[in-house]
Chains A and B, each alone.
Chain A
């Protein structure tokens, strides 16, 4: 079988890079981006990494470094990052018809069937074009399997000598092994913490050890998943690219509140808002849901308060994506489990039993009429269109609330440079 050629394109410090495209003052300065409610560090510029700010570190722990070094701090601007990601993916799609958007900032490209003389040069072209079109810097790793491509990008990122592109397909086996010997087994793509611990106990601490592990032994203890990784490390591609993302089987919208909430009224606003958001996602993938789960919980980190958490699932007789109906069910679920006297910190809504719109069973007895369904679908399509054009929540149901004191706190949010006319870059 012809050897595969797989490239992994990984955006460097993606969230920070997105902020930098629209803010010239952020170049060559330490920058960090925070998680929901501005709690923890989720992205760091190289300058911030050098200062010792860790991934996932709570903001209050790095306050001193931030002040000392004038670190620029941003809340997560999700709509901006999602749009920039879509742009990067579109540029990448021009290089290969077979592409897997693996995450918001990574994509695998299958280059096997392309005629490319010099893969390193090709990688540099990808890097240069993504940079020119979007302003986002990327690293490119090229190898004969996804797992090795992942290794290549990790190596590229730690050593600036490579200039952001590394092709492992031309590397001699012993040189590759030397490289793998420097990679800890828990940094190998697909090896979780549990497996890493297990392997370490058996003296396998590096990617090289895993590569030369006994295949049958691995299969027995790490299942076929582990066996595939071993083969991939040996350069045999056996994890295919997922070029089409299957529609999600469940849609979740859950968030921590900016502050603890104590009333049913506030929880009602939050649950209604999360339901509306989940319903919008449901409609985006042209699906209906037949089951809805609501959960609420107190702050588990706070040892000084009494705790309560619960969830409630309701089955919806006729699958729907109609926001008012879903909210109706969600609020019934909420009321069924709500208890007074607790300080709630988080709520969530989960839609499941999802079916595609084009496979709906019409109800023979008329409780669910086709005409009514179409009317609802048209109304929702209109609401979605208006919210898309004029910004989220231009139209919303009153039950979602207008003050939303519980809503996510994003005090250091940059502008929605690419999705709101009144927030575009001013020069």
Chain B
């Protein structure tokens, strides 16, 4: 370390941080190091199109989406039949399962206490994004 500092001080310009990172005896395991697992890389496919929303209500209970859960919503994914989506319905956000059966768009709840919502012409309807993960706190 001392010899390192001496060498630095005789030079006019030093890359300050980089030179320190290289100080000390290099670890023999350095060559074998991989990037540590990052949860982001698992749940986020398109960072620029990914948003988070918090769930209220229990209409998607049977799909494993509970009150207070955080949903990862990817707007880059084109919604397919059976996808769980965040939609805009008549000026309100809602999370439901998308149904595209028999030329009819419908929003299906995952809770028998709620009714499916067939989308009709006069409704203001828009898919906001596709839900890719649900973050559920266990304690």
Contacts and interface: CB of A to CB of B under 8 A. Distances in A.
A307 interface: no
A427 B54 contact: yes
Interface stretch (A236-244, A256-264, A268-276, A357-365): A357-365
Interface residues of A, number: 31
Interface in B48-71: 48-49, 51-56, 70
B76 to A, nearest CB: 5
Interface in A1-42: 24-25, 27
B84 to A, nearest CB: 12
B95 A373 contact: no
B17 A134 contact: no
Contacts of B18: 358
A135 B49 CA distance: 9
A426 interface: yes
B93 interface: yes
Nearest to B74: A133
B75 A425 contact: no
Contact of B48 (A133, A359, A361, A364): A133
B75 A427 contact: no
Contact of B13 (A361, A374, A426): A361
B12 interface: yes
Given A27-B91, A132-B75, A370-B5, A425 B51 contact: yes
Contacts of B116: none
Interface in A391-427: 417-418, 421, 424-427
A88 B124 CA distance: 25
B81 interface: no
Interface string A333-376: 00000000000000000000000011111101000001101100
17 contacts: A27-B124, A87-B48, A87-B49, A357-B16, A358-B14, A358-B16, A361-B12, A362-B9, A370-B5, A370-B8, A370-B20, A374-B16, A374-B20, A425-B52, A426-B53, A427-B54, A427-B55
Interface of A: 24-25, 27, 86-88, 90-91, 132-135, 357-362, 364, 370-371, 373-374, 377, 417-418, 421, 424-427
| Those 10 A-B pairs whose CB atoms lie nearest each other, nearest first | A133-B49, A427-B93, A90-B48, A87-B48, A425-B53, A358-B15, A426-B54, A424-B52, A24-B88, A24-B91
